[in-house]
Structure 1
Amino acid sequence: MWPAYNVMRELVSSKSRVRGREDQDIIAFPALVECVSNVSARPFGSAADVQDLLARQCLETVRWWDSIKYLDQEQKVRRWVGIGPGKVGRNLVGKEVGMRGMDTVKGGGVWAITDPIEIEEVLKGLEKTELLIEEEE
């Protein structure tokens, strides 16, 4: 069996170390937020899928663009937040979903959090665009 698969199996079956949640699994289903796999570019819905897809992601081609297209075109996601170093992800998503101006897309926006100080600005942007999404629907 693949080493990556064994690591993922352990992660999926592990219990939380967060105080007050020690009896809960780290990964629980059904999830509160739908998650899209980089391998299939589609949502998944079980702990077994997490194991399989994360292990496959180590060996197979990641379908990042397909995942973004699925979220944009089929799920109509209009607000995007990237978290991590740099703003490359934000820029790539913005190009794919039709970013207008600096950070905005029709009915939403694309933001990046590269430093904790940026969180407040992103939250304000999300709040501001919440009404735009309701109007569009």
Structure 2
Amino acid sequence: AKHFNENVEHWEAIGYLHDYDYEKYPDEHLQHTKEPLEQAGVSAEEIRAILSHGWTICNEIEPLTNCEKSLFTVDELTGIISAAARMRPNGIADLKVSSFMKNFKDKRFAAKCDREIIKKGCEMLGMEVRDVADICINAMKKLV
């Protein structure tokens, strides 16, 4: 959100809700999201953003806004970042983009994280993987 000069709190709220149904319905992810969120008063725009992170994976809701494209991209990207951080004695505290990129290029590392989705999302954002990863790493460092 900061990178795009958009509302940080709004993006955070979307991020908190994006896997609303995953724990209960991992094999039916995003199929049990819309109705409960509507009933809770979440706007159609916000629900669309949440649903769009499943584009080409479990639905056909293409990410269009910066928020949607970012969520689509970083959902997979943070998986690789988290795995890379777990391999370091200091966790994410001293993780550098160059280290991340080595792991990103090794398809065996965090193999379940779909690098093609990350690349497609970065392309949609008009950014390089390295630059998006740098933003994510720095944001994740602030959470610890």
- TM-score, normalised to structure 1, is 0.30
The structure that is strand-richer by fraction is 1
Structure with higher Rg: it is 1
- TM-score, normalised to structure 2, is 0.28
